[in-house]
Amino acid sequence: MQLQDILYSQGFGTRRICAGLVQQNQVQISWAGESEARPCTDAAQELNPINLVLRVQGVDWPVHEKAFIMLNKPAGVECSQKPSVWPSVYSLLPAPLRQRPSKGKVAGVQAVGRLDQDTTGLLLLSDDGQFIHRMGSPKKQVAKLYEVTTKHPVQEPQIRQLLDGVVLDDDPKPVRAAGCMQRGMHHIDLTLTEGKYHQVKRMIAAVGNRVEALHRSRIGGLVLPPDLAPGQWRWLSSADLALLS
Ligand code: URA
């Protein structure tokens, strides 16, 4: 694959921009594990993209055929490309992740489901449509763990109701938590396998309490790493991906 095509596939802009980056000596290459990057001035140079690391304008970029990332979403950002009030969560990502092409168009990574503006924690993003679909599919029933802080003390009957099922205003079919564990007077861990709109907040409201703070700490077997600070992102490893399958 030509270097300019690899750069293009990773979201560094049009092929013309990518060729320009190479011609202006802005690109160096190495392979994973190597400490030295070497300059590359031929945009048409054929390279094997597997384990290739691009250094573009001094920043290392490991080549990924598909992008799978996790982000520790802070409060005060919206999971929308065109946010109405708050900044977009996508503004926390570097330009190549927002510009990755798909079928010849700038598509970028997309959030796998959404978290509310005030919800914090684990958010997955990808440019792999099948992965996004699979993770969101009700059939797959991926468990998501939410740490809920409630306004009022949690009562035992509320836990039972959440596990037995509560009716939300727009759906006569009750929704139940796959798990519900009291962690403190105002804290519960709630596990859901669906992703309805404002589901945690509406379920907690349906049992007569109110969400004060909401944090997602796990999706499937993937736990939000404690060293990933709010606002930071990282690539998912193949071991991380296996925890989601
Ligand atoms: N449920 C909610 O109510 N909000 C979220 O952000 C996620 C789940």
Q: What's the pLDDT tens digit per position in 172-181?
A: 899 999 999 9
Q: What is the pTM of this model?
A: 0.95
For ligand 1, atom 4: residue with the closest CA: 198
Average pLDDT of span 191-204: 95
In the chain, helix, strand, coil percent, each to 5?
Answer: 20, 35, 45
Query: Residues 68-125: pLDDT tens digits?
Result: 999 999 999 999 999 999 999 999 999 999 999 988 788 899 999 999 999 999 999 9
Residue 116 CA, closest ligand 1 atom number? 6
d(CA 223, CA 146): 11
Is residue 116 among the annotated active site residues? Answer: yes
| Residue 160 main-chain phi, psi, to 5 deg | -60, -45
Question: Is it the case that residue 215 has pLDDT exceeding 80?
Answer: yes
CB-based contact 149:166 (threshold 8 Å) = no
By the 10 Å C-beta count (0-12 exposed, 13-18 middle, 19+ buried), 26 is classed as middle
Specify burial of residue 115 (Cβ count, 10 A radius: 0-12, 13-18, 19+).
Answer: buried
**Residue whose CA is closest, atom 2 of ligand 1?**
198
pLDDT for 171 equals: 82
Alpha helical stretches, state H, the chain? 3-9, 15-23, 95-99, 129-136, 156-164, 199-206, 238-242
* pLDDT tens figures, 25-44: 999 999 998 989 999 999 99
> Measuring from atom 7 of ligand 1, which residue has the nearest CA?
115
Mean pLDDT over each residue of the chain, to the nearest integer = 96
Tell me, in angstroms, the distance from the centre of ligand 1 to residue 92's CA: 20
Q: Which atom of ligand 1 is nearest to the CA of 119?
A: 6
pLDDT band at 231 (very low <50, low <70, confident <90, very high): very high
Which mutation among 119, 122, 209 tests ligand 1's pocket best, with the greatest number of atoms within 8 A of CB? 119
Give all domains of the chain, ordered by start, each with its CATH number: 3-62 (3.10.290), 68-138+222-244 (3.30.70.580), 143-219 (3.30.70.1560)
Confidence of residue 239 (pLDDT cuts 50, 70, 90): very high
Residue 170: per-residue pLDDT: 76
Classified as helix, coil or strand, 3 is: helix
Query: Rg of the chain's alpha carbons, rounded to an integer?
Result: 21
- pLDDT above 90: residue 203: yes
Rounded distance between C-alpha atoms, residue 235 and residue 245, angstroms: 16
Parallel/antiparallel/unpaired status of strands 211-219 and 120-126: parallel
Q: Which of 5, 116, 118, 128 is catalytic?
A: 116
How many percent of the chain have pLDDT more than 70?
Answer: 100
- Note the pLDDT of residue 245: 83
Tell me which of 214, 217, 224 to substitute to probe ligand 1's pocket, judged by most ligand atoms within 8 Å of the beta carbon: 214
DSSP designation for 23: H
Question: Any idea which residue has 């077997």 for tokens?
Answer: 221
Q: Please give the average per-residue pLDDT across 211-225, as a whole number.
A: 98
Cα 206–151–208 angle (5° rounding)? 20
Question: What burial class does residue 74 get, using C-beta atoms within 10 Å of its C-beta: 0-12 exposed, 13-18 middle, 19+ buried?
Answer: middle
State which ligand 1 atom lies nearest to the alpha carbon of 203: 3
| CA 19–ligand 1 middle distance (angstroms) | 43
Under 8 Å between Cβ of 193 and 144: yes
* Confidence class for position 234, pLDDT limits 50, 70, 90: very high
Residue 235 has pLDDT above 90, yes or no: yes
Ligand 1 pocket list (CB less than 6 A): 115-116, 119, 198-201, 214
